[in-house]
């Protein structure tokens, strides 16, 4: 990484998906690029890079955030969980199953952000209404599905109408 | 969509942050929640040489009951305000307004002080603080001063804050809990910036005048004389469409350009005044 003389790198120490990581980063690098380029966690997608599309949604200290609107250096000391972590832990296994069953993805670009957002909703509202699901995912753009299938999938996961994998 | 290079500072205390800001006056930007500044930097509309990240300054966080007012620290995040029992009990208008701010992920990071300091004309927080008769607390290395929100927003994303000042808190007069209010905005999608919004806040002991604020149209939110004249009496039934049109025309070249916004404002105003009725 090229760093200009007046832009020294900064050391960040953080926990990502349960593993302690230490890296030296440029201050201008946002957390999404850090996860993808430094840690190889390419499940976090970079779409609009200005906080609109939601594809880069991750959990920081248990709260969902736009990782493109947070500098990597700001995550120093934080606990970050990405779609890979939620997938490996099994937390989103049912969501993944219902997304597949309901055709809630086509190109898949928005899917990681949708899954993290849906998982966060189900943590606080285990049995949401369709309206609550729609409001939660209104923060995430999908250009393929028209959203109905995604709402169906989240509802199915929440209300147990799909067989667990 | 990457920010330009900058030097990064993360002071642990307010005096340190103020000293840095003073030292790098004009070249530094304060980074709070980053939900407005980071997009501006990504789009290269802001290219600070230095970023002073105030997120670790705990003194700037929290909501305090100060008798007649609530003092909200600048770094208090939207979701902290929404979860606050004090706000729910004493300042439901603010909670209702913040419920319209973007989305959950944004509200987890965005701060009340950042929104006020950025002064986006479509943002809910500046307009709501204006409607509540709030005062901005600005701190520099040498002094603290209060600025009425009426005098704070002086242009598109421009405020009365001086370059060496940090917005540290906002003080809002408590409202009697039984007092009605109205917050209403029109956006194409839940969480989007409003194309127009109206806030009505009737007078009380801590705020001697009825306030009606329109936002999402001009370069700043503004107190609408036309709407404030419609408080009490006959209410909005007697509302002056012509006067509202004149207010909007300040920001548009002609009637034709304003024609898109006027019906939205009229409709919102009718609904807002209807909400004030018991």
CATH number at residue A144: 1.10.150.120
CA distances from A74 to A29, A55, A69, B33, B138 (A): 10, 20, 10, 10, 24
| Residue A124 in domain | yes
CB atoms within 10 A of CB B157: 17
| Residue A2 in domain | no
Q: How confident is the model at residue B253 (pLDDT cuts 50, 70, 90)?
A: confident
Average pLDDT of B46-57?
96
User: Which one of B11, B46, B104 makes the best mutation probe of the A interface by having the most chain A beta carbons within 10 Å?
Assistant: B104
**How big is the A-B interface in CB pairs under 8 Å?**
90
| Residue A165 in domain | no
Q: What percent of chain B has a predicted confidence (pLDDT) above 90?
A: 83
Q: Closest partner residue to B190 among A28, A54, A135, by Cβ?
A: A135
Which pLDDT does position B251 carry in this prediction?
86
Give A68's contacts in chain B (Cβ within 8 Å).
38, 42
Q: In which residue ranges of chain B is CATH 3.30.465.10 found?
A: 62-173
Domain span at residue A58? 10-82
Average pLDDT of B232-254?
77
- Which residues of A have a CB under 8 Å from any CB of B? 4, 6-8, 10, 26-28, 30, 33, 48-51, 54, 57, 63-66, 68-71, 73-74, 117, 120, 135-136, 138-139
Question: What is the value of ipTM here, to two decimals?
Answer: 0.93
CATH number at residue A16: 3.10.20.30
Last residue of one domain, picked from the residues A82, A114, A138: A82
Where do we find the tokens 């597949």?
Answer: A100
Average pLDDT of B174-197?
91
Closest CA to A51 of A36, A33, A69: A69
CA distances from B158 to B37, B163, B166, B220, B266 (A): 13, 11, 14, 9, 27
Q: Is B7 on the interface with A (CB under 8 A)?
A: yes
Cα separation, A93 vs B125, in Å, equals: 39
Tell me if A28 and B3 make a contact (CB, 8 A cut-off).
yes
The number of folded domains in chain A is 2
Which pLDDT does position A162 carry in this prediction?
57
Which CATH number is B182-276 given? Answer: 3.30.390.50
Between residues B222 and B189, the one the model is more confident about: B222
Which of B118-127, B204-213, B236-245, B265-274 has the least mean pLDDT?
B236-245
| Residue A164 in domain | no
Which CATH number is B7-53 given? Answer: 3.30.43.10
Determine how β-strand B50-53 pairs with β-strand B7-9: parallel
Are A76 and A125 in the same domain?
A: no
Which CATH number is B62-173 given? Answer: 3.30.465.10
Extract the runs of DSSP E, i.e. beta strands, from chain A: 10-16, 19-25, 57-60, 63-66, 79-81
Q: How confident is the model at residue B236 (pLDDT cuts 50, 70, 90)?
A: low
Are A77 and A16 in the same domain?
A: yes
Cα separation, A28 vs B3, in Å, equals: 6
Last residue of one domain, picked from the residues A25, A60, A82: A82
pLDDT at B257 > cutoff 80:
no
- Per-residue DSSP letter, A71: B
Q: Closest partner residue to B191 among A48, A117, A138, by Cβ?
A: A138
Q: In which residue ranges of chain B is CATH 3.30.390.50 found?
A: 182-276
Which pLDDT does position B154 carry in this prediction?
95
Q: At what angle do helices B241-249 and B261-276 cross, to 10 degrees?
A: 130
Closest CA to B96 of B131, B120, B148, B60: B131
Are A27 and A44 in the same domain?
A: yes
pLDDT at B240 > cutoff 80:
no
Average pLDDT of B111-117?
98
Are A143 and A112 in the same domain?
A: yes
| Residue A99 in domain | yes
CA distances from B176 to A159, A161, B277 (A): 42, 47, 16
Q: Are B210 and B231 in contact (CB under 8 A)?
A: yes
User: Which one of B105, B110, B122, B190 makes the best mutation probe of the A interface by having the most chain A beta carbons within 10 Å?
Assistant: B105
Q: Is B158 on the interface with A (CB under 8 A)?
A: no
Mean pLDDT of all residues in chain B?
Answer: 93
């Amino acid at each position: 990484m090229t760093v200009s003389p007046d832009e020294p790198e900064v050391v960040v120490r953080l926990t990502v998906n349960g593993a302690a990581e230490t890296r030296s980063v440029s201050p201008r690098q946002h957390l999404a690029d850090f996860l993808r380029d430094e840690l190889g966690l390419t499940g976090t997608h970079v779409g609009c890079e200005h906080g609109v599309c939601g594809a880069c949604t991750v959990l920081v200290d248990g709260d969902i955030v736009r990782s493109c609107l947070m500098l990597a250096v700001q995550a120093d000391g934080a606990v970050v969980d990405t779609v890979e972590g939620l997938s490996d832990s099994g937390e989103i296994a049912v969501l993944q199953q219902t997304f597949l069953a309901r055709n809630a993805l086509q190109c898949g670009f928005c899917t990681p952000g949708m899954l993290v957002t849906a998982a966060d909703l189900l943590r606080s509202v285990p049995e949401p209404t369709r309206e609550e699901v729609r409001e939660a995912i209104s923060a995430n753009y999908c250009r393929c599905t028209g959203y109905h299938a995604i709402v169906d999938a989240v509802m199915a996961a929440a209300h147990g109408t799909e067989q667990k994998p | 969509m990457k920010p330009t290079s900058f030097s990064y500072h993360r002071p642990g205390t307010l005096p340190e942050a103020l000293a840095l800001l003073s030292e790098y006056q004009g070249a530094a930007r304060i980074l709070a929640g980053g939900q407005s500044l980071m997009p501006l930097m990504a789009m290269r509309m802001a290219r600070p040489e230095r970023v002073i990240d105030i997120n670790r300054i705990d003194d700037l966080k929290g909501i305090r009951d100060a008798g007649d007012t609530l003092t909200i620290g600048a770094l208090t995040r939207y979701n902290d305000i929404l979860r606050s029992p004090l706000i729910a009990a004493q300042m439901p208008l603010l909670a209702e307004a913040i419920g319209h701010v973007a989305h959950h992920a944004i509200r987890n990071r965005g701060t009340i002080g950042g929104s006020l300091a950025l002064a986006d004309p479509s943002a809910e927080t500046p307009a709501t603080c204006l409607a509540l008769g709030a005062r901005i607390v600005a701190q520099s290395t040498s002094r603290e001063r209060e600025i009425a929100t009426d005098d704070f927003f002086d242009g598109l994303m421009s405020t009365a804050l001086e370059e060496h000042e940090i917005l540290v808190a906002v003080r809002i007069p408590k409202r009697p809990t039984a007092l009605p209010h109205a917050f209403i905005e029109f956006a194409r999608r839940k969480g989007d910036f409003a194309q127009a919004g109206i806030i009505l806040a009737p007078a009380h002991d801590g705020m001697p005048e009825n306030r009606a604020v329109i936002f999402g149209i001009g370069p700043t939110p503004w107190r609408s004389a036309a709407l404030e004249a419609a408080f009490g009496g006959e209410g909005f039934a007697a509302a002056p469409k012509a006067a509202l049109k004149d207010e909007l025309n300040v920001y548009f070249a002609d009637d034709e350009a304003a024609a898109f916004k006027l019906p939205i404002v009229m409709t919102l105003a009718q609904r807002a005044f209807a909400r004030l009725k018991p």
